[in-house]
Amino acid sequence: MLDMVQADKKPLILIVDDERFMQETFRDTLTDAGFSAAVVSDGATALDCFKDLKPDLVILDLVMPDIDGFSICKEIRALPEGKDTPIMMVTGLGTTKSIHNAFAVGATDYISKPVNPDLLVYRVRSLLRAGRSLKRLAESNTRLATTEQIASLGSWEWDPLSNTIRGSAEMFRMFAIEHQSAALTFEKFLAAVYPPDRAMVESALKNACKGRSACSLECRLKHPDASLRTVRLQGHPDVTEPRVVPRLTGTLQDITEAKQIEDRLKLLKEAIDCLPVGITMSDVHGRIIYSNPAEAEMHGYAAEELIEKDARHFAPRSLSKPLQPEQLKKVGVWRRESVNVRKSGEEFPVQLSSIAVTDSDGKCLGIVTACEDITSRKRSERRIQSLAYYDTLTGLLNRAAFLDRLHQALALAKREGHKIALIFLDLDNFKDVNDTQGHDFGDKLLMAVAGRLTAGMRESDTLARLGGDEFVLVLTTDISQDSTAIAAQRVLALFDDPFSVDGREIYSSVSIGIALYPDDGKDAENMFRCADTAMYHAKKEGKSRYRFFSQEMNRKIMQRVALENSMRQGMDKGEFHLYFQPQWDLKTARIVGAEALLRWQGPDFGLMLPSSFIPLAENSGMIFGMANGFCVLPATRQETGSRLGIAM
């Protein structure tokens, strides 16, 4: 049964008594004194009421019919919320044993019947004040224990005189020892330390007491499961008391995770320090906070020289405008080629990759930049480009690069409707130089020729070496037959003076063929063919001269090709015949010999005299022998194994 009188914000007193008179007496006295009161008449109801109301104080009758006050007090103390609640025992028994038993089960105070109302109020108020203090202390201890657990920080106190160590719950947790109120012995404290560290810990603590000075060290604790935890142990002597040997108080913090992070960071730093690529870390203001050895060495500094310098210190003035961190966050990884400056002032090409580093809230912490010296790579790229587009001997454009330039020039000429000139150059008698002076000498002559041609060209002209002793030149500015002729004469004049090769002077000349766009050809292939044809005629006419391509030249070339093809077919078809003309001795009137005359009778050209086809046969290799006035041609298919001889 519950009878409750309560006002807001008043201390609540739970009255547990089976006598009606005592219930009313307690209730009236307490309510008149300004308290709230809840009344129950049996033990079972009292426990339920305590759980529901969580009163500030309990007045508990010792003797009741069902459950006595000792049992109720013990059960209340077993509840988490009843651990620090003040409990006043009330009984008519005034024996020493009953008083002892009451305090043994957790009573806070004891009062005998009959109860003096003024004394009751006084003692209730006193118990409430003590209860509030205990509650605040319990809450403070709970907060402290929670804080220690969150921080992995335990507290301890060592009394060398009693050889005991007391500590917080967190300290016991770190030592993997069940928390207990009794103190540890110093030996048991040391037993939890990893054996290799025990001597160090013992020596540090004892020296701190002896020298009355603070100590701080890191050690390892070994748990029963063989795992190790690293802790930072700090101690400070208490010198406020006049003791020969002071107490030592201190803290114990679990830094296992922090040490693991520290070790990983150390590994990471060592890895970054070993990288052949430069790494720079700068804060949000662009100041360098770290630079690995590769970065410092690359720029000619010691690593410590770079700390606090502006990261733009590496860039030339014209390029020292990097993205701001907020801009870089939007870009992500910013990769680019740039130019950096060494401490000596030397500029060199670099490959840079930068990224903004942010925290979990997206706030920028700084910028990390990787820098690679690409001087060698750029040199290799230039070398590859040179091999792909330039002649290795003379340094002029090679055939592939020249064709590309010619195609571009032709496309531009077609679009803008202007002319271009293709000038084909071939050294005269260069084969004789190679045969008599050697190929090394010939190469040096080609280099000298290339140098002289280059010096004589205009900026708008394109000069290339096609191979061997063949050079080619494209003119694209103000092209006419007259201006091209002047250019050709200028080229011929470049060969008037001798060339100096290996300290020797050697004269050389050149034959030039010229083709004009669009008159002679409208694509690169036809332009080359026409210029080559014109050059051939220049050589045939005496060398060291130039010739423009003409249709008459083309007609003669076509006729020559047709004649050569027909002659080759005629040999296979047996179209060549010998005619014999007798030779007479006029003194004796007798035949002393005969002159054999070769004639060619074919369907395309009819009867051909020797003067029309013998020179062509010689130039085309169809006559493979010439000795003692005897000309030998390849055997026909009908005359396999035989030779056709002509006495000259």
Of residues 44 and 486, more confidently modeled: 486
Q: Is the pTM of this model over 0.85?
A: no
* 333, pLDDT greater than 90: no
Alpha carbon 381 to its chain centroid, in Å, reads: 22
- Mean pLDDT for the stretch of residues 100-128: 85
- Mean pLDDT for the stretch of residues 564-573: 78
- Mean pLDDT for the stretch of residues 512-525: 91
* 4, pLDDT greater than 60: no
Candidates 190, 168, 189, 191; CA nearest to 179 is 168
Q: What is the mean pLDDT of the chain?
A: 84
Place of tokens 């050569």: 564
* 77, pLDDT greater than 50: yes
Of residues 623 and 382, more confidently modeled: 382
Class of domain 2-142: alpha beta
Tell me if domain 281-377 and domain 390-549 are identical in fold: no
When pLDDT is cut at 50, 70 and 90, the band that residue 615 belongs to is: confident
- Mean pLDDT for the stretch of residues 186-198: 91
- The kind and range of the H/E element at 46 are helix 43-53
Do strands 12-16 and 36-40 pair parallel, antiparallel, or not at all (unpaired)? parallel
- Start-end of H helices in 251-393: 256-274, 293-298, 303-306, 325-331, 375-389
Q: Which amino acid is at 570?
A: G
Q: What is the pLDDT of residues 586-602, one digit of tens each?
A: 888 888 888 887 788 77
- Mean pLDDT for the stretch of residues 558-584: 78
CATH number of the domain located at residue range(s) 152-260 in this protein: 3.30.450.20
Architecture of domain 281-377: 2-Layer Sandwich (3.30)
* 620, pLDDT greater than 90: no
When pLDDT is cut at 50, 70 and 90, the band that residue 388 belongs to is: confident
Q: Break the chain into its structural domains and give their ranges.
A: 2-142, 152-260, 281-377, 390-549, 562-647
Q: Quick one: what percent of the chain has pLDDT higher than 70?
A: 87
**DSSP states of 68-82:** -HHHHHHHHHHSGGG
Q: What is the pLDDT of residue 428?
A: 93
Q: What is the pLDDT of residue 471?
A: 96
Whole-angstrom Cα distance, residue 318 to residue 307?
23
Is the N-terminal amide bond of 242 cis, ω within 30° of 0? no
Q: Encoding tokens for residue 497?
A: 């003076």
Q: Quick one: what percent of the chain has pLDDT higher than 90?
A: 33
* 456, pLDDT greater than 50: yes
Do strands 630-633 and 625-627 pair parallel, antiparallel, or not at all (unpaired)? antiparallel
* 242, pLDDT greater than 80: no
When pLDDT is cut at 50, 70 and 90, the band that residue 356 belongs to is: confident
- The kind and range of the H/E element at 150 are helix 117-151
- Mean pLDDT for the stretch of residues 293-322: 85
When pLDDT is cut at 50, 70 and 90, the band that residue 135 belongs to is: confident
- Fold annotation for 390-549: Alpha-Beta Plaits (3.30.70)
Whole-angstrom Cα distance, residue 366 to residue 285?
8
- Mean pLDDT for the stretch of residues 303-324: 80
* 194, pLDDT greater than 90: yes
- Mean pLDDT for the stretch of residues 238-245: 73
Q: What is the pLDDT of residues 622-647, one digit of tens each?
A: 765 443 333 444 433 333 333 333 33
On whether the CB atoms of residues 137 and 43 are closer than 8 A, the answer is no
> Which of 13-22, 195-204, 466-475, 563-572 shows the lowest mean pLDDT across its residues?
563-572
